[in-house]
Amino acid sequence: MLTQNLPDFWESLYNNKKDYWNSGKPTPALLEFFEHPSCPKTGNVLIPGAGVGLDAEAWANKGHNVLAVDFCPTSVDALDKISRSNKNFRSLDLDLFSLSPKDPKKGGETFDIIYDYGTFTAIHPGRRDEFFEVCYKMMKDDALLILLLYPLSNASTMQGPPHATSAGELMARLDGIFEIVERIPVKNSLPGREGKEEFWLLKKTL
């Protein structure tokens, strides 16, 4: 039985055109966030579970150095292709839970920004604390973790992916590890996602 812990699970969704997250264009809410005063103007960006890289490429086009990580062949091929034509963009074929700031083959540095849309709610909910631990480890002390959360609701967490997450659950997980700097509502969600998305901007609790 394939689970979402394995690249083959994701590869079969891509191959069977069940890649529900792939709208074929950069996320409109991200493009709008780029104009928000809280969006960092500079800094290197890590994108774990970058998919086919449309949002990651948007960060690179904005001038940031980007490392886009994914572990399934369709994504990795797409990320490699972008990296060949965009000097700000590097791709890494890796299980995001293996990222390490100390190992050059596994990231090898810390970042100013981590951005995620859809991977936190794509991984198995039992691995959510581990996800935050990896992010923490890969962030500089003053770095920003930017989560575009979907679906943010009180629906059952176990159905999915995408698996819902709620403000209460997140606050419990983040307590003592990350501080919530800001929550920013999303006005231009993709169809069907209205009212279930929010940006959460997090900094390390030091």
Ligand X SMILES: C[S@@+](CC[C@H](N)C(=O)[O-])C[C@H]1O[C@@H](n2cnc3c(N)ncnc32)[C@H](O)[C@@H]1O
Smaller CB distance to ligand X: residue 49 or 107?
49
Smaller CB distance to ligand X: residue 72 or 201?
72
Q: Give the nearest distance from C-beta 145 to ligand X in angstroms.
A: 14
Measured distance CA(50)–CA(74) in Å, rounded: 11
Measured distance CA(129)–CA(135) in Å, rounded: 10
Smaller CB distance to ligand X: residue 21 or 89?
21
Q: Give the nearest distance from C-beta 206 to ligand X in angstroms.
A: 27
Question: Regarding beta strands 178-185 and 198-204, do their DSSP bridges make them parallel or antiparallel, or are they unpaired?
Answer: antiparallel
The residue among 184, 200, 196, 186 whose CA lies nearest residue 155 is 196
Phi-psi region of 192 (alpha: psi -120 to 50; beta: other; left: phi over 0): left
Q: Give the nearest distance from C-beta 72 to ligand X in angstroms.
A: 4
Binding residues for ligand X, rule: CB under 6 A, are: 10, 21-22, 49-51, 55, 69-72, 75, 95-97, 117-119, 122-123
Q: Give the nearest distance from C-beta 131 to ligand X in angstroms.
A: 9
Smaller CB distance to ligand X: residue 55 or 197?
55
Measured distance CA(67)–CA(115) in Å, rounded: 11
Long-range CB pairs of 36-42 (<8 Å, 24+ gap) are 36/184, 38/181, 38/182, 38/184, 38/201, 40/112, 40/113, 40/144, 42/112
Smaller CB distance to ligand X: residue 68 or 141?
68
CB-based burial label for 153 (10 Å; 0-12, 13-18, 19+):
middle
Question: Regarding beta strands 66-70 and 89-93, do their DSSP bridges make them parallel or antiparallel, or are they unpaired?
Answer: parallel
Q: Give the nearest distance from C-beta 26 to ligand X in angstroms.
A: 9
Smaller CB distance to ligand X: residue 18 or 176?
18
Q: Give the nearest distance from C-beta 160 to ligand X in angstroms.
A: 10
